[in-house]
Amino acid sequence: MAKILHYVHSSLDGFIEGPHGEFDWPQMGPDLSAHGIGLNEQVGTFLYGRVVWEMMSGFWPQAESISDHPHDLEFAPIWRRMPKVVVSSTLRDADWNTTVVGSVAEVAKLKQQAGGDILLSGGSTLAAALTAEGLIDEYHVVVHPVLLGGGKRLFPEGQSRRPLRLVESRLLDERAVLTVHAPAES
């Protein structure tokens, strides 16, 4: 069975985007880029909710014409060729080697059938729904040194308590902290 890895950037005060939806605060250095690229090489499918999908599909297909950042240049061709799944109740189809599914139950089936691990990038709504069903196997959270003061929380309030165990923690680029957690053994 495939594992689902959740990879997300967070502010120190626990937000994944600012009060106006801004996501201009994570700074991609060589260590953080290497971690992200390593995760990409470990998985066989990218997984997104609709909102993150729209952000990703609006940038990565033409990233080389927009950015000359080394990470962007390395990741863009990976993104274009990787199979992707979008969970959405409103989106019907998507380009770039992408399948649209309508429910978390379909993600659970995908986890049973996938030929490789699945990387959920960003988002909070889909991550919360997958967490509630016990479908996420690892949380890779990169905490950046910024206080956003509001916005979208890493996990919305009202979630059930879930004990986790720390698998790894390290400093990236002398500024951000990566923590990797997995569900605690019962």
End-to-end CA distance of the chain: 19
What is the reported pLDDT for 114?
Answer: 65
| CA dist., res. 107 & res. 110, Å (int) | 5
The total number of structural domains in the chain stands at 1
pLDDT score of 8 more than 80: yes
Q: Which residues contact 77 (CB under 8 A, 6 or more apart)?
A: none
Query: Token pair of 18, please?
Result: 């600012």
CATH code of the domain covering residue 19: 3.40.430.10
pLDDT score of 6 more than 70: yes
Contact 154, 14 (CB under 8 A): yes
pLDDT, tens digit, 9 for 90 and up, residues 41-100: 999 999 999 999 999 999 999 999 999 999 999 999 999 999 999 999 999 888 888 999
What pTM was computed for the model? Answer: 0.93
Mean pLDDT confidence for 4-33: 95
pLDDT, tens digit, 9 for 90 and up, residues 120-130: 998 899 999 99
What is the reported pLDDT for 186?
Answer: 52
Domain that holds residue 140: 4-183
pLDDT, tens digit, 9 for 90 and up, residues 100-150: 999 999 999 999 986 799 999 988 999 999 999 999 999 999 999 999 999
| CA dist., res. 168 & res. 68, Å (int) | 31
DSSP letters of 51-101?
A: HHHHHHHTTGGGHHHH---HHHHHHHHHHHHS-EEEE-SS----SSSEEEE
Question: How many residues comprise the chain?
Answer: 186
**3-state DSSP assignment of residue 116:** coil
Nearest-CA neighbor of 49 among 148, 147, 121, 143? 121
